C-alpha cells in the first residue's frame, strides 16, 4: 500500500500554502471580525484555476484528481476555514451536481462559468422545518407550459448572498415520496428568486449564508437537473462529495490548531521553563497530532476511493464525523494551551474553536453521519 503523495500533489500543496500565506493569512482575522466575503481572494483563486479543480478542462476546470482537490481545501481551511468552505460548497455542492447529472447543454451554460470562477454557486435544500429530515421540505415546483414555477423558502443557504447559480430542490410530486423530489438549476436573475435574511454566525463568519425566497419563481423546463424524481438521489450523492470537503476543512482547522499550540507552548514560560516542557501540555499536543493524523488518513482514503470509482459513502461519513469531532475537541484544547490569551480576540485559536463547531453540523450532523455509517453496515 502506497502512502506517499506524488511530486505533483506535493507541488500543488506547496503552491496553495504559499498562496494562502500571501493572500489569505493577512486578512483572515479581519474578514472574520467583519463577516466580510473575501471577494478579492476568491477572484485570485479563480485566476489560478482553483474554483473548478476536479472538473475537466473542457468544462473550464483544472482536471485535478479528487484527492488533490481535498488537499487544497485542507490547506485553504488551515488559513481560513470560511474561505475553504466557500470553495468547497461552490465546487462539491453547486458545480458537482451539474457535472455528474447535467446535460451537455447545462454543463456548457452553467458548469463552465462556475468552474472558471466567473460565477459562484450555491446549494439550497435546507428549509426552516426541514434540516436532516429532507422529506419535511415544503418547496414545490409545478410545470406550467415550458416553465417550472417554484414556491418555497430555503434557509442556511451557504454562498446564498453571493451566488449566481443555485441548485434548488423542490417537490414535483410529493405523493411519490422520496421519488417525488426534483432538482433545478436556478440563476439568480430568475424572476421570483430573492435573497432573504443574512445570518451572522458564531464561526466561519466570512462565508455568506442566507435565506432564499422563491415566490412564483420561473425557470425553463430545460433547467431540470437529471430527471423528475431524481432530486433526492442527486442531493445524497452531492452530500457524499461534500462531506469529504468538510472533513478536509476540519483537518485544516486542526492542523492550524496544532501549529499554533506548538509555537505558543515553546514561547510561553511558566515555572521557569517553556510550557512545552510540562507533561500536561505535551500530552495535549500528542493527542492533537495523533487525532489529526487519523482524521487526515480517513479523509484522504475517502477521497481516494471516490477517485477510483469505488463505493465511498460510508468512508466519507466516517471521515467527516471523526475529523469534525476531533477538530472541535482539539481547538478547545488549543485554547486551553493558550490560557487566557486563547480566549481573546487576536489569537488565532479563538477563531479556530468557533470555526470548528460548524463542521459537526452542516452537510449532515454527526448524528446523521452515524446513521449513514450504520445503514451501510447493517443493510
For 64-95, how does the pLDDT look when each residue is reduced to its tens digit (9 = 90+)?
Answer: 999 999 999 999 999 999 999 999 999 999 99
Q: How far is CA 215 from CA 84, 193, 208, 300, in A?
A: 32, 7, 22, 42
Q: 286 by DSSP, 3-state: which?
A: helix
Cα dihedral across residues 125, 169, 104, 160: positive or negative: negative
Domain boundary among 72, 94, 115: 115
Does 99 reside within a domain? yes
Does the annotation count 33 as an active-site position? no
Residue 166, phi then psi, degrees to nearest 5 = -115, 140
Residue 132 has a pLDDT of 86
Q: Which residues pair with 165 in a beta bridge?
A: 121, 187
Does 141 reside within a domain? yes
Q: What mean pLDDT is reported for the chain?
A: 96
Residue 135 has a pLDDT of 86
Tell which residue, 4, 165, 189, 18, has the closest CA to residue 89. 165
Q: Which long-range CB contacts under 8 A does 12-19 form with residues at least 24 apart?
A: 12/64, 12/68, 12/71, 12/72, 13/71, 13/72, 13/75, 16/50, 16/71, 16/72, 16/75, 16/76, 17/75, 17/78, 19/44, 19/45, 19/48
Co-location of 77 and 135 in the same domain: no
Geometric angle at alpha carbon 52, from 323 and 307, rounded to 5°? 55
Tell which residue, 262, 316, 326, has the closest CA to residue 294. 326
Q: Which residues pair with 274 in a beta bridge?
A: 269
How far apart are the C-alpha atoms of 113 and 358, rounded to whole Å?
29
Which of the residues 47, 260, 363, 367 is marked catalytic?
A: 363
Co-location of 102 and 21 in the same domain: yes
List alpha helices for 268-278, DSSP H: none
Co-location of 238 and 374 in the same domain: yes
* pTM for the structure as a whole: 0.96
Find the helix packing angle between 279-307 and 231-267, rounded to 10°. 150
How far apart are the C-alpha atoms of 316 and 272, rounded to whole Å?
46
Residues 6+ apart with CB under 8 A from 94: 114, 120, 121, 122, 123, 159, 163, 165, 166, 167
Reported as type and span, the H/E element at residue 183 is strand 181-187
How far apart are the C-alpha atoms of 356 and 352, rounded to whole Å?
6
Number of domains present in the structure of the chain: 3
Residue 324 has a pLDDT of 98
Co-location of 247 and 342 in the same domain: yes
For residue 77, the domain's CATH number is 1.10.540.10
Co-location of 191 and 304 in the same domain: no
* pLDDT tens figures, 207-264: 999 999 999 999 999 999 999 999 999 999 999 999 999 999 999 999 999 999 999 9
How far apart are the C-alpha atoms of 363 and 128, rounded to whole Å?
15
Does 2 reside within a domain? no
Confidence of residue 301 (pLDDT cuts 50, 70, 90): very high
Domain boundary among 229, 253, 271: 229
Co-location of 53 and 126 in the same domain: no
Cα dihedral across residues 248, 253, 256, 258: positive or negative: negative
For residue 373, the domain's CATH number is 1.20.140.10
Co-location of 174 and 86 in the same domain: no
Residue 187 has a pLDDT of 98
Q: Is the pLDDT of residue 133 over 90?
A: no
Domain extent, residue 129, equals 121-229
Pairing of strands 273-274, 269-270: antiparallel
Domain boundary among 115, 139, 162: 115
In the predicted model, what is the mean pLDDT of residues 44-49?
Answer: 97
CB 10 within 8 A of CB 71: no
Confidence of residue 1 (pLDDT cuts 50, 70, 90): low
Amino acid at each position: 500500500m502506497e502512502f506517499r503523495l506524488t511530486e505533483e500533489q506535493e507541488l500543488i500543496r506547496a503552491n496553495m500554502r504559499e498562496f494562502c500565506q500571501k493572500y489569505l493569512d493577512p486578512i483572515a482575522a479581519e474578514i472574520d471580525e467583519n463577516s466580510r466575503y473575501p471577494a478579492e481572494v476568491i477572484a485570485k483563486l479563480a485566476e489560478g484555476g482553483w474554483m473548478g479543480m476536479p472538473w475537466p478542462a473542457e468544462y473550464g476546470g483544472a482536471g485535478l484528481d479528487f484527492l488533490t482537490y481535498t488537499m487544497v481545501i485542507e490547506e485553504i481551511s488551515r488559513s481560513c476555514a470560511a474561505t475553504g468552505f466557500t470553495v468547497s460548497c461552490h465546487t462539491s455542492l453547486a458545480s458537482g451536481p451539474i457535472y455528474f447529472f447535467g446535460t451537455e447543454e447545462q454543463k456548457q451554460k452553467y458548469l463552465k462559468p462556475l468552474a472558471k470562477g466567473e460565477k459562484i454557486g450555491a446549494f439550497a435544500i435546507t428549509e426552516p422545518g426541514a434540516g436532516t429530515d429532507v422529506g419535511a421540505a415544503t418547496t414545490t415546483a409545478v410545470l406550467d407550459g415550458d416553465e417550472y414555477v417554484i414556491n418555497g423558502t430555503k434557509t442556511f443557504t451557504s454562498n446564498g448572498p453571493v451566488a449566481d447559480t443555485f441548485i434548488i430542490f423542490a417537490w414535483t410530486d410529493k405523493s411519490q415520496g422520496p421519488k417525488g423530489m426534483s432538482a433545478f438549476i436556478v440563476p439568480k436573475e430568475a424572476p421570483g428568486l430573492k435573497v432573504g435574511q443574512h445570518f451572522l454566525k458564531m464561526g466561519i463568519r466570512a462565508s455568506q449564508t442566507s435565506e432564499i425566497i422563491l415566490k412564483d419563481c420561473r425557470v425553463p423546463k430545460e433547467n431540470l437537473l437529471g430527471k423528475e424524481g431524481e432530486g433526492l438521489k442527486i442531493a445524497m450523492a452531492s452530500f457524499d462529495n461534500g462531506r469529504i470537503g468538510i472533513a478536509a476543512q476540519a483537518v485544516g482547522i486542526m492542523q492550524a490548531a496544532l501549529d499554533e499550540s506548538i509555537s505558543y507552548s515553546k514561547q510561553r514560560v511558566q515555572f521557569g521553563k517553556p510550557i512545552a516542557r510540562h507533561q500536561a501540555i505535551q500530552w495535549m499536543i500528542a493527542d492533537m497530532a495523533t487525532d489529526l493524523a487519523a482524521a487526515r488518513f480517513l479523509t484522504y482514503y475517502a477521497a481516494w476511493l471516490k477517485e477510483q470509482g469505488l463505493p465511498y459513502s460510508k468512508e466519507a461519513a466516517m471521515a467527516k464525523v471523526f475529523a469534525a469531532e476531533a477538530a472541535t475537541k482539539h481547538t478547545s484544547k488549543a485554547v486551553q494551551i493558550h490560557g487566557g490569551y486563547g480566549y481573546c480576540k487576536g489569537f488565532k485559536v479563538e477563531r479556530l474553536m468557533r470555526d470548528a463547531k460548524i463542521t459537526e453540523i452542516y452537510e449532515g450532523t454527526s448524528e446523521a453521519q452515524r446513521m449513514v455509517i450504520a445503514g451501510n453496515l447493517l443493510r
